[in-house]
Chain A
Amino acid sequence: MSAAPPTVVEPHPWRGLAWLTRREFHRVLKLWRQTILAPVIAALLFMVVFGLSLGESIAGINGFEYRVYIVPGLIAMAMAQATYSNNSSTIFQARNDRYLDDILSAPMSAWQVHIGYLAGGALRSLAIGVSLTALALPLTGVPLEQPLVLLAAVILLIAAFGALGIIVGIYAQSWDNQSFINNIVILPLIFLGGVFYSISRLGTPWEQISHFNPLFYVVDAVRYGFLGASDVNPAISLAVVGVITALLIGWAQYLFASGHRLKP
């Protein structure tokens, strides 16, 4: 063994973030069958079975064929679940195996660590969203009426569910905790948020109750981006999702900055 002389290096302002982002991308791409391919196939099956096979026998909604109407909700659902699952599992695994220590002891600010972890979920979610859109366009003929609104909705969706994943990953005591939140909270709320139907068809009081479901606004904003039509004004949807996103980002940032549940 031979030693090189130690030298002092000033911490670089953003390289740590760049490398953490790269590490998260590395993980997503290394597990691409599980992280990207499987959710794309699952959402595609929904489109084929519910949209193309059964869609013929289901009346159109708000002037759109059923197979077209369900595409935005299915894409939003797949992206939201992917971002959430990615971030909750990567953080939980890093905590559980304690290699998170290498990140926490490094000269990176809480914001940098936070953004680095959000980036992995964002990549996975975008890969799924772009793949599904590319497949849905020729398969169903879904339009892309309001790309800027869609972009805003997707950014908020990724940030909100990414932060939620981080929060759950930090609080989780076991793998079960994460899947519990996904299966018992996120999935039902998305299904009840109008992925497969318009809430205007529910009637009183279910239509009004649906307005208390935050995930309804996520689905509705994405739907407006694709179809140019929605159950509520898209500005309201984006505002509601924006507030939820800010709260979740703030919570996740508090956890990174304080070390609460990350450090004893």
Chain B
Amino acid sequence: MPEPAPTTAPALSIKGLTKRYGDGTLALDGLDLEVPAGSFFGLLGPNGAGKTTLIGAVCNLVRMTAGEITVFGEPGSGMRARRMIGIAEQEPNLDKFLTVYETLLYHGGYYGMSGSESAERAEQMIEAFDLRAKRDVEAPKLSGGMRRRLLLARALLHRPQLVILDEPTAGVDLELRQELWSYIRSLHRQGTTILLTTHYLEEAEALCDEIALISDGRIVARDTADGLKRQYGVETLEAVYLKTVAGGRIRLAQEAEVQ
């Protein structure tokens, strides 16, 4: 099958993305964001800021109220765009009827890989993510760490160009976190664009070329970690975070306490 011509389009372009849920909650408020191809991009924000909704909209898992999404220049809802995205969601969502190997094999199939190609790739990912001993174990019988490994292996199985990681190391021990980041870094070095959401600010600072801060469904700041610190005249990314996205909330909480 012919490979598409190399594109100079951003990995992800989002214009005026709005999502209002049925209960009236405005999760995304005309959000604009561009993630350059080949970048390691961090998305930081408090719970409820709109990170997961944003990721869901990009991955065809949330219905947009308004806005436009393109992935490497392709319309976000189109098949080519979907083929280029790999997502590891925050909560393990593994098919309870499938073993580790089958989870990977079927995922490759859903993404259009042939049986032999998917089988070969599944074995590669089992090796890469240290899942060999659990190859024939069903997902519900895996430990939390093993499920997290499998989620990442599944997200990367079809060799996506844009990998979206939603809190991939939440609840993961230090050793596994280092292993996962080492793998993700090597993928990034080979040209894969990574979009990461995390609550670990030091992790975002160490890994990401650029960081966007999201609050109340809008991007409120965006730059490199050093650029953000300069822009806000502070020493740490945590201080930037507190001044921007968390500042308003903390101030409100303090005012409420005083009253």
Chain A residues proximal to chain B, CB less than 8 Å: 1-12, 15-16, 18-20, 22-23, 26-27, 30, 93-94, 97-99, 101-109, 258-259, 263-264
Contact = CB atoms under 8 A, between A and B. Distances in A.
A22 B89 CA distance: 24
A101 B3 contact: no
Contact of B60 (A5, A7, A105): A105
- Is chain B's interface secondary structure helix, strand, loop, or mixed overall? loop
A107 B80 contact: yes
A97 B60 CA distance: 18
Nearest to A23: B106
B246 interface: no
A99 B103 CA distance: 10
Given A1-B128, A107-B79, A19 B95 contact: no
A99 B83 contact: no
B112 A16 contact: yes
Given A3-B128, A107-B79, 5 more contacts: A9-B3, A27-B97, A98-B93, A102-B95, A106-B110
Nearest to B109: A19
A90 to B, nearest CB: 9
Interface of B: 1-4, 21-22, 53, 56, 59-63, 79-80, 82-85, 87, 89, 91, 93-98, 102, 106-114, 124, 128-130, 154, 158-161, 179, 182-183, 186-187, 189-192
A105 B1 contact: no
B222 to A, nearest CB: 25
Given A15-B112, A23-B106, A9 B1 contact: yes
Contact of A106 (B94, B111, B187): B111
A19 B106 CA distance: 6
Given A26-B97, A101-B89, A106-B82, A5 B190 contact: yes
B96 A93 contact: yes
Nearest to B160: A6
Nearest to A8: B3
A2 B80 CA distance: 27
Nearest to A7: B159
A173 to B, nearest CB: 14
A40 to B, nearest CB: 22
Contact of A104 (B61, B183, B187, B190): B61
B158 A9 contact: yes
B80 A10 contact: yes
